[in-house]
Amino acid sequence: MLYTLIHTIHIFSVFIYGGFLFVDILFLSKMKQTLSEEEHTKAREAIMMHVRKVVPYALMVAVATGIFMFTQVFGEIKEEGMSTFQIALSIKAFLGLWLGFRGINQKLFGINPWVFKSHLFPFSLVVIIILLSQFMYL
């Protein structure tokens, strides 16, 4: 029961974080094509003002719940090595922790990333994590 609750919270928080990245990459970045530079800056800041109140915390919840779920399902490593499931789960965990580390540094410590400043790279990692989650049970 606890695992199901944590899993549900995890899915919702990932939807919030990944959904924002999706909207930013596909829609918000295109506002420059129809708005002047000043209008674009104002419109983007009006949206981001609200995004900053929710999305970073959704990422932190996604990482925390992901860590909990990892400890519950990883299992024992057999003599022959890790299973395909464990390898995919480990890759997902690494990518999720990297996103979380990046997000925590930005939100809590005000440290902006030195590379990959756009949301395209985090969005790509979220897509990879989602794909791995679909294939790791095969």
pLDDT tens sequence across 22-71: 999 988 888 889 999 999 899 989 999 999 999 999 999 999 999 999 99
pLDDT bucket at 116, cuts 50 / 70 / 90: low
Predicted local distance difference test score (pLDDT) of residue 12: 97
DSSP H helical ranges for the chain: 2-26, 37-73, 84-109, 120-135
Q: Per-residue b/e over 83-101, b at no fewer than 16 CB within 10 Å?
A: eeebebbeebbebbeebbe
Q: Which of 62, 64, 55, 67 is nearest to 119 (CA)?
A: 55
Mean of all residue pLDDT scores within the chain: 91
Task: Tell me the pTM.
Answer: 0.87
- Rounded CA gap, 71 and 15, in Å? 22
- DSSP character at residue 129: H
Taking each helix axis as running N to C, give the angle between helix 37-73 and helix 84-109, from 0 to 180 degrees, rounded to the nearest 10. 130
List, in sequence order, every residue forming a beta bridge with 81; answer none if it has no partner.
78
Least confident of 23-27, 49-53, 103-107, 113-117: 113-117
Predicted local distance difference test score (pLDDT) of residue 118: 79
